[in-house]
Chains A and B, each alone.
Chain A
Amino acid sequence: MTGFLWELPTRRDGRRADPTLWRRGGFDHLHQVVDAAELSGVDGVVATYDPDGEESWIVAGGALRHTRHCRVVVEFTPSFGTPVYAAKMSLTLQRLGADRLDWLLKVDTDPEDDRRRGDRVGGAARYERAAEFLTVARGVWSGRGAAPGGFDGGEFDHHGRYFDVVAGGFDEAADGHAFPVVHLSGTSPEAIALSAAHGDVHLFSASTPDLTADVRALAAAAAQHGRTVRTGLVLPVIAREDEHEAWARVLRLWREIDPSATERELRSRARDGVLFHGFDRIGHRARAGLVGSYDQVARRLGDYTRAGIDTVVLSGHPAIEEIHRAGEHLLHLADPAGRTLRGARA
Chain B
Amino acid sequence: MTIDVYWRIGMSGDHASLRTPKVRNRGDWGGLGPGNIAPAVRGGQPDGYAYIDHAAAVAKASEAAGFLGGLLPSFPGTEDPWALSAALARETSTYRFMVAFQPGFLHPLQAARMSASLQRATGGRLVYNIISGGGGPAQLWWGDKVDHDDRYARTSEFLDVLKGVWRGEPHDVDGRFFTTRGAALPDHLTGEPFPEIYFSGSSAAAVNAAGLHADYYLSWLEPFGDLARKFDGVREHAAKLGRTPKFAVRIDVLARHTEEAAWAEIEKGWRHVDPAVATRQARGDSVGAARIKGWVPDTITGYRDVEVQPNVWAGFSLLRGGPAFGLVGSYEQVAQRLDELLDLGVDAFILAGNPHLEEAYRVGEEVLPLLGRSRFTQPRAVREPAPVA
**Apart from the given pairs A89-B83, A117-B110, A173-B12, 6 other A-B contacts in the complex at a CB distance below 8 Å:** A61-B87, A62-B121, A92-B80, A116-B183, A117-B109, A173-B77
> What are 11 sample pairs from A and B whose C-beta atoms fall under 8 A apart?
A52-B186, A55-B117, A61-B85, A61-B86, A62-B87, A80-B110, A96-B51, A115-B182, A148-B13, A165-B141, A165-B142
**Nearest A residue to B30, CB-CB:** A148
Chain B residues whose CB sits within 8 angstroms of the CB of A102 once the complex forms: none
Interface pair A26/B140, CB less than 8 Å apart: no
Q: Is A40 in the interface zone, CB < 8 Å from B?
A: no
Interface flag for A324 (CB, 8 Å): no
Q: How far does the Cβ of A137 sit from chain B's closest Cβ, in whole Å? A: 10
Contact A59 B117 (CB under 8 A): yes
Instruction: Report A16-62 residues with CB < 8 Å from chain B CB.
Output: 23-27, 29, 31, 51-55, 57-62
* Interchain CB contact (< 8 A) of A116 among B50, B181, B321: B181
Asked if B357 lies at the interface with its beta carbon under 8 angstroms from chain A, I say no
Chain B contacts to A: CB under 8 angstroms: 12-13, 24, 28-29, 48, 50-52, 75-80, 82-91, 104-107, 109-110, 113-114, 116-118, 120-121, 137-138, 140-145, 173, 178-184, 186-189, 287-288, 321, 385-386, 388
CA distance in complex: A79, B142 (Å): 16
Check A25 against B388 for contact (C-beta < 8 Å). yes
> Is the CB–CB distance between A12 and B141 below 8 Å?
no
Q: How far is the CB of A138 from chain B (nearest CB, A)?
A: 14
Any B CB within 8 A of the CB of A152: yes
- Output the residue of A23, A80, A85, A154 with the most chain B CB within 10 A: A85
* Chain B hits for A117, CB < 8 A: 107, 109-110, 180, 183
Q: Which residue of B lies closest to A116 (CB)?
A: B183
Q: Identify whether the interface residues of A are mostly helix, strand, loop, or mixed.
A: mixed
Contact B385 A26 (CB under 8 A): yes
The size of the chain A interface, using a CB distance under 8 A, is: 65
Q: Are A151 and B138 in contact (CB under 8 A)?
A: yes
Q: Tell me how far the C-beta of B174 lies from the nearest C-beta in chain A, rounded to whole angstroms.
A: 9
Does A83 sit within 8 A of B, measured CB to CB? Answer: yes
Query: In the complex where A82-B142, A117-B180 touch, is A149 in contact with B79 (Cβ < 8 A)?
Result: no
**A168: CB under 8 A from chain B?**
yes
Instruction: State how many angstroms separate the Cβ of A258 from the closest Cβ of chain B.
Output: 26
- Please indicate the chain B residues that have their CB under 8 angstroms from the CB of A221 in the complex: none
Query: Cβ of B107: which chain A residues have Cβ within 8 Å of it?
Result: 79-81, 117
Cβ B137 vs Cβ A54 within 8 A: no
A343 at the interface (CB under 8 A from B): no
Interface centre among A54, A64, A168 (most CB of B within 10 A): A54
Whole-angstrom distance between the alpha carbons of A22 and B120 in the complex?
18
Residue in contact with B77 in the complex, picked from A66, A79, A93, A149, CB distance below 8 Å? A149
Given contacts A96-B50, A166-B140, whether A25 and B188 have CB atoms under 8 Å apart is yes
Question: With a CB–CB cut-off of 8 A, which chain B residues contact A158?
Answer: 143
| Distance of B21 from chain A, by nearest CB (Å) | 12
Residues B82 and A61 in contact, CB atoms below 8 Å apart? yes
Cross-chain contact A153 with B141 (CB below 8 angstroms):
yes
Q: Which residue of A lies closest to B87 (CB)?
A: A65
Residues A118 and B178 in contact, CB atoms below 8 Å apart: yes
Complex Cα spacing A120 to B85, Å: 31
Considering only CB atoms, which chain B residue lies closest to A157 in the complex? Answer: B140
B29, B52, B144: most-surrounded residue (chain A CB, <10 A): B52
CA A167 to CA B287, docked complex, whole Å:
15
Most buried by A among B87, B89, B137, B180: B87
Interface string of A67-92 (1 = CB under 8 A from B): 00000000000011111110011111
Interface of chain A residues 155 through 204 with chain B (CB within 8 A): 158, 163-171, 173
| Cβ-defined contact, B88 with A65, below 8 A | yes
Q: Which of A61, A79, A167 contacts B83 (CB 8 A)?
A: A61
Report the minimal beta-carbon distance from A229 to chain B, rounded to whole angstroms: 27
Q: How far is the CA of A136 from the CA of B110 in the complex (A)?
A: 20
Docked complex Cα distance between A85 and B137 (Å): 16
B179 and A57: CB pair below 8 A? no
A146 to B75, CA, bound (A): 10
- A160: nearest chain-B partner, CB-CB: B143
Is the C-beta of A259 less than 8 angstroms from some C-beta in chain B? Answer: no
B77 and A147 within 8 A (CB): yes
Name the residue on A nearest B141 (C-beta). A168
Contact assessment for A27 and B385 in the assembled complex, using a CB-CB cutoff below 8 Å: yes
Closest 8 CB pairs of A and B: A61-B86, A118-B179, A166-B140, A96-B52, A65-B87, A81-B106, A92-B83, A55-B117
- In whole angstroms, what is the CA distance A113 to B262 when docked? 57
Report B381 CB to chain A, min CB distance, Å.
14
Nearest-Cβ distance from residue A67 to partner chain B, whole angstroms = 11
- Give Cα A89–Cα B87 distance, bound, in whole angstroms: 12
B106 and A165 contact, CB distance less than 8 A: no
A89 and B82 form a contact (CB under 8 A): yes
Contacts of A95 in B (CB 8 A): 28, 50-52, 79
- Complex Cα–Cα for A80 and B29 (A): 29
